[in-house]
A and B are shown apart, each in its own frame.
Chain A
Amino acid sequence: MSLFGTGALGRVVRSGVGRRRVQSAVIAVATMMAVASAVVAGALVVASNAPFDHAFAEQHGAHLTAQFDPAGVSTAQLESTGRLDGVTASAGPYPSTTVSPVDPGGGHLPRLSLVGRSGPHGAVDDLDVTSGRWAARPGEVVLSASFSGPALGIGSALRVSDAADSPTLTVVGFAVSAGESADAWATPEQVRTLAAADGPATVQMLYRFASAGTAGQIAADRRALAAAVPSGSLLGTTSYLDTKRAADRGAAPTIPFLTAFGVLGIVMSVIIVSSVISGAVGTSLRRIGILKAIGFTPGEVVRAYVAQALIPAGAGIALGVVLGNLLALPLLEDTGRAYGGASLTVAWWVDVLVPAVALLVVGIAALVPALRAGRLRTVEAIAVGRAPRTGRGQWAHRAAGRLPLPRPVTYGLAAPFAHPVRAAAMLLAVAFGTVAATFAVGLTSSLNAVGGASDPEERAAVTAVSGGPTVNGVPEPGAPAAGGAVEHRTPGPGGSSPRPPSADPAKVRAAIEAQPGTASYYGMSHADVTVAGISGPVRATLYQGDSRPGGYEMISGHWLTGAGQVVVPTHLLETTGTRIGDTIRVTLGRDSESLRIVGEAFDTSNDGLSVHAELADFAAAEPQVFQIEVKPGVSPAGYARQLAAVVQPLGADVMANSPSPKENMILLLDAIAALLTLMLVCVAGLGVLNSVVLDTRERVHDLGVCKALGMSPRQTLALVLSSVAGIGVLGGLVGVPVGTALHGFVLPVMGRAADTRLPPSVLDVYDAPRLVLLGLAGVLIAVLGALLPSGWAARARTATALRTE
């Protein structure tokens, strides 16, 4: 007794799979691609769902990171805090300090919190070393993975400070702390040595609590902690809720995008697998009739045909799970990095659920036509393929025959109407493929537009820094640079980023005006201001001169054109309940001004709480930075050198700007969009391939007749390709508007998740030529899918084809 009930049945199944090698291969490959894309999409959707929570739970992240004064509390007292009521786990005490390291290029990193830990693991904050190794001896440091980049890698030597005798730390690894307990780690001895020599010496303790779900609970936990140690010895604490809020805000925009692709992938997979399987069974009716004629029961026939579909599909599903995991892992690693969390893995249940659902879909898709075949009267089944076909599609042939096109083309154009269900499945496959391509092209363009719209001041060719505490390009202490990495700037003369300069802005401005090669410039200053209706400081960027070259993309209204005006992001409008035309009160130091909102800017920096105004409105403010455009043909680097020679003696500095690299998240989303689109287009192409293989098999005799009548291989190729061209055009016509509509729906949702509306430059990314090209994508998918079987049809031997029943 074989797997399929009787030896004869087993042989029928095996021979069926072996005899239809092409179809079995198509089933296996189509299923594999469909399952792989579903695994990738599913894994990414799961990963983007609360990535911080997953990474935090995995690492047993600290609910509260506390800094203590070692002079005020003993180690024993600190250790006893781990046994307080409500504390479920603790780690530490770890010596800690802060350093302001200088990278190998002389650039300043932001001020880093450095913690001494002998290893990455612990009951709390179990760190994930993403590359390299842990610091084993003095002189070594492990950095937060957010600092990893082209400018800073393993082996890079960091001077601890600007001081000439500053010790050097070699980067030996990068690690991720989901709760962001520190920026860097070294051995405890190393940290103690550095703290004793230069920095503030503190001690870090990490805690997990039984109740830590809300800010109120965390505050209560903190109070209990403070009460347990000598007064004044608890210097400060950081709640994981703040880190979580920031992380969730970063991850939120990706969720609609991944969900859209995930749904596309899953729906397409179901359609393709169903049509492939049901088509395969449906074309075997004559063989089924013969089996019944020689004594197979309807039940055996059903089992045989379901098994014939399940064998290649099962192989495809298994391979698809492996392929999906292989493709998902690097993306998940990047996703984890982009979310600032630990590297992620494919959720186990995705690897179980996707193949289970795929098997179910395959089973149902095979069962329906197999049951029909099982019920079919033997005589009818045998007659399939012998009796003349009547009815379906004949009107289409009549209509197509009137078209002023070569006969093979008109014959091909009408062919899909003979199998409306199969043609509909093919149309859906092409349309979904076109939707995916259209959405992906739009999304990539939009993301690139977002990248181009962010940090507009960095568009300037040259930056002259006149001075002040918070100047562009020199982050505030403790604040990481954009993307968490070191600023990528071309240093001016002197070869290194200088100490924050201090020069008379008027003199610097005069030098810029006098410098040959200056095309235009504007002054800029960053400051913290207060805005009526918002608690806490708000970041203000104040401009002097014609700031339009550095202006943000406008969502509505216009950029600054004079004093008394302010431009704000969406989030600030929503927070203050204001609209364009309203007035807000902005206070800088003792200057308090009522400014009229003239524009809504696409500015997501500082959580969308920032204002842009004229420097002239605030008497005490001075420009700290001048952004300069050079005349055509003038080298920014050469200009910077010449200007620096003039302004450095004044205490200012100059740097030529290199183009900013794309943000990690944009690169990641671009990569995911490209991969998922490629997979979905492949799945669509396979769907077409399968349908055309079925059609070609069914029509092989007719094709043989045509060839016997004198149809050349080229005409045969034209016939088969024409049979999908119409579907390709229709798929393109359906897919492009649906893809653009999906883009129009998802992008604003992504924007809303980031608390901003989006400007037209981000939303309106489809122009007419691009839409036409995307429409042709449908034809391309269809033609590529049909190319292989059309080649077979063209090469098929006429005599053999004529003998085919």
Chain B
Amino acid sequence: MTHVIELSGAAKRYGSAGAPALGPLDLGVAQGEALAVIGPSGSGKSTLLNLVAGLDRPTEGTVTVAGQRIDRLSEHALARFRREQIGMVFQFFNLLDDLTVADNIQLPAQLTGTARRRAAARAGELMEVLGITRHARAYPGRLSGGERQRVAVARALVNRPALLLADEPTGALDTASGHDVRQLLVDLHRGGQTLVLVTHDLALAEACASRTIQLVDGRLAVDTRAETVR
């Protein structure tokens, strides 16, 4: 089976002394898999996500994503890797308030040098799929939490990434919006999108993930696979 993510003895220490915040960890995530990472605060969930996204480097071991050893890439190469291979969804959306919804979604495509017309077409397509076309010219500040997260998902998908990373995607949403986003992630997974989901929300993990790992004090405590995703 092809692994989109491959961590081998990967560990991250902050400072020279003390226990690592994460690992050493061996982990493989297969193409099309939806992995939920759960665990208490400080267990290393966000650190794992940062290592996989190339936002941080391991202090030990290797991290390979989509066939690339990203732990030894330059900053420039990491940026290119992120824009081509990774889509990220954040708890607090992290939309750029100065840009319209359409501009926010197009931004990653434009960073890769995609022609404006093509980027706009792809953004339009995603807005259509996610039901936010009517907000295309609106600014994020005017949208509800659920709508903003949909914009964030659209932005994450605009470059057709090999991997979608979601960090507490429903953490800042009300119940109804959270449910919408949950369904969106399920749909994406069903469509074949490889997904890594960091969450405290066990219900979300259960609904979206084909596999769940639990981290405790930076170490892999539980690794379970679901029969099917609901």
**Do the two shown chains form a genuine complex with each other?**
yes
The interface of chain A, by Cβ under 8 A from chain B, is: 387-390, 393-394, 397-398, 401, 406-408, 411, 414-415, 418, 701-702, 705-715, 795, 797-799, 802
- Convert B69-105 into 0s and 1s, putting 1 for each residue whose CB lies closer than 8 angstroms to a CB of A: 0000001100111111010101000111111100100
User: In the complex the two chains form, is B96's CB within 8 Å of A712's CB?
Assistant: no
Q: Give 10 closest A-B pairs by Cβ, nearest first.
A: A710-B83, A388-B141, A712-B79, A407-B110, A710-B82, A390-B141, A799-B55, A389-B97, A388-B97, A705-B94
Whether A401 contacts B103 by the Cβ 8 Å rule is yes
- State how many angstroms separate the Cβ of B15 from the closest Cβ of chain A: 15
Shortest Cβ distance from residue B48 to the other chain A in the assembled complex, whole angstroms: 12
CA distance A713 to B82 in the complex (A): 13
Can you list 19 residue pairs at the A/B interface with Cβ under 8 Å?
A: A388-B140, A389-B98, A389-B141, A390-B142, A394-B99, A394-B100, A397-B98, A407-B110, A407-B111, A415-B98, A702-B98, A705-B95, A708-B53, A709-B108, A710-B82, A713-B75, A715-B111, A797-B55, A802-B94
Return chain A residues, CB-CB under 8 Å to B56. Answer: 797, 799
Asked if B98 contacts A394 (CB within 8 A), the reply is: yes
**B76:A709 contact, CB within 8 angstroms:** no
| Residue pair B141, A709 in contact (C-beta under 8 Å) | no
Give the docked Cα–Cα distance between A393 and B141 (Å). Answer: 14
Residue B41, interface by CB 8 Å? no
What separation, in Å, do the CA atoms of A799 and B159 have in the docked complex? 21
Q: Among B75, B81, B98, B110, which residue has its beta carbon within 8 angstroms of that of A418?
A: B98
Expressed in whole angstroms, the minimum distance between the Cβ of B157 and any Cβ of chain A is 12
In the complex, B68 has a CB within 8 A of chain A = no
Please determine whether A710 and B108 come into contact, CB atoms closer than 8 angstroms: yes
Q: Does B112 contact A (CB under 8 A)?
A: yes
Question: In the assembled complex, how far is the CB of residue B188 from the closest CB belonging to chain A, in whole angstroms?
Answer: 18
The reply to whether B82 and A714 form a contact with Cβ atoms under 8 Å apart is: no
**B155 beta carbon closer than 8 Å to chain A:** yes
Chain B 5-30, CB within 8 Å of chain A: the 1/0 string?
00000000000000000000000000
**Is B139 touching A709 in the complex (CB atoms < 8 A)?**
no
Min Cβ gap B59→A in Å is 14
CB pair B83–A709 under 8 Å, yes or no, is yes
Q: State in angstroms the CA–CA spacing of A393 and B82 once bound together.
A: 28
Q: Does B183 sit at the interface, judged by CB under 8 A?
A: no
Mostly, the A contact residues are helix
Given contacts A388-B141, A797-B56, A802-B94, contact A709 B111 (CB under 8 A): yes
Closest to A398 in B: B100
Max chain B Cβ within 10 angstroms of own Cβ: one of A702, A706, A710: A710
Within 8 A of A (CB), among B127-176: 139-142, 155, 159
Min C-beta distance of B155 to chain A, whole Å: 7
A714 to B108, CA, bound (A): 15
Contact B141 A712 (CB under 8 A): no
Contacts of B97 on A, CB cut-off 8 Å?
Answer: 388-390
**B52 → A minimal CB distance (Å):** 12
- The smallest beta-carbon distance between A315 and chain B, in angstroms, is 33
In this complex, which of A387, A414, A705, A708 has the most chain B Cβ atoms within 10 angstroms of its Cβ? Answer: A708
The residue in chain A whose Cβ has the minimal distance to the Cβ of B165 is A708
Q: Quick one: closest A residue to B156, CB to CB?
A: A709
Return A382 CB to nearest CB of chain B, in Å: 16
Whether the Cβ atoms of B111 and A799 lie closer than 8 Å is no
A397 to B94, CA, bound (A): 17
- Is there a chain A Cβ closer than 8 Å to B107's Cβ? yes
Cβ contact within 8 Å between B96 and A702: yes
- Given that A407-B110, A705-B94, A711-B111 are known contacts, is A799 also in contact with B82, CB under 8 Å in the complex? no
Chain B 107-131, CB-CB to A under 8 Å as 1, else 0, gives 1101111000000000000000000
Cβ-based interface call for B50 (8 A)? yes
CB distance from B135 to the nearest CB of A (A): 14
A418: min CB distance to chain B, Å: 6
Candidates A387, A394, A705, A706; contact of B139 at CB < 8 Å: A394
Interchain CB contact under 8 A, A708 and B107: no
B17 CB, min distance to chain A CBs, angstroms? 20
Which of A401, A414, A702, A712 contacts B76, CB < 8 Å? A712
Question: Complex: how many Å from CA A406 to CA B113?
Answer: 8
Give Cα A702–Cα B56 distance, bound, in whole angstroms.
18
Q: CA separation between A797 and B84, bound complex, in Å?
A: 19
The answer for the CA separation of A401 and B98 in the assembled complex, in Å, is 11
Decide if B98 touches A414 in the complex (CB within 8 Å). Answer: yes
Bound complex: CA A797 to CA B110 (Å): 22
New A-B contacts (11) at CB < 8 Å, excluding given A411-B99, A710-B112: A388-B95, A388-B141, A389-B97, A389-B98, A390-B141, A401-B99, A415-B98, A705-B94, A706-B107, A707-B79, A710-B80
> Smallest CB–CB gap between A353 and chain B, Å?
44
CA distance A707 to B69 in the complex (A): 19
Distance of A229 Cα from B194 Cα, bound (Å): 116
Taking A390-B139, A393-B98 as contacts, is the C-beta distance between A712 and B75 under 8 angstroms?
Answer: yes
A614 to B58, CA, bound (A): 91
Residue of B nearest to A712 (CB): B79
* Closest beta carbon of chain B to A423's beta carbon, Å: 14
Q: Which of A387, A393, A414, A710 makes the CB contact (< 8 A) with B79?
A: A710
